[in-house]
Structures are given as C-alpha cells and as structure tokens.
Amino acid sequence: MRKSTKILIALTAVMLLVFGIGTFLILTEKQDSKIAKIYVGGELLYEIDLQAVAEPYTITVTNESGGENVIEVRQGEIGVISASCPDKLCVECGFSGNGLLPIICLPNEVMICVEGGNSDVDARH
C-alpha cells in the first residue's frame, strides 16, 4: 500500500470516529421538559408536562357558550382531535410538540401553547 492510501484510510477512520461520537452525544442529549398550556376564554385551565405522559389520554374543554374541544395528550405532543366549531381548523393543525406554533380554535376560544423542548429554531433570546 502506498503512503497516501494509508493516510486516506487513517483520515477516514478519524472522521468516522468523530461523527460517531457526535451522533451519540446528540442522541443522548437530555430533553428539556415540554409544558403544554391549555387556555379557554383567556383563562389557563391546564399545564401538562408532555415528557411525563405515560399513556395517551383526552381532555374535553367547554367554553361559556357551549363550544367544545376534545384534546388528546400524548408523550411529547398534544392536539385537538374533535371540535364543535364549524371550520375544524384546530383539528387540521394536527399535533404539536415543538412549541413553534400554538393550536388555536377561535370560535371556541381555545388556545394550546407548548413551551420548552427543542424548538428546532436556531436562535437564542
């Protein structure tokens, strides 16, 4: 084997080792707690640690005029699975766990915000 081939093999091995260590550190990084806050009519009704959820469950919230939303809580995410509003945009939002956008049902005055966690946004306050 030529000397340049040996150097190339050594460099490749070092790069793979560095990549492997980096991947391990990223995958074992401690997850920040994700707190879901459910508001109805501007009033905070629930604060839920999404990382602590063992089994999925549902919460039904009702506003003063009788509008109803059924919210499913899973480990790491939360979403509206049914609503009495006419447009169902809150249901179509799907599940949220990253805190980037809140889930809002304007007709039923429901807002779900997720705080904490890794928001995948490359910015610091």
pLDDT at position 124 over 70? no
Least confident range of 22-31, 58-67, 98-107, 113-122:
113-122
Q: Are 35 and 114 in contact (CB under 8 A)?
A: yes
Over residues 12-38, the mean pLDDT reads 81
Q: What is the pLDDT of residues 30-82, one digit of tens each?
A: 556 789 999 999 999 999 999 889 999 999 999 999 999 999 999 989 999 99
Q: What is the pLDDT of residue 119?
A: 47
Q: What percent of the chain has pLDDT over 70?
A: 88
Strands (E), 41-100: 43-49, 57-62, 68-74, 77-83, 95-96
Give the three-state DSSP class for 111: strand
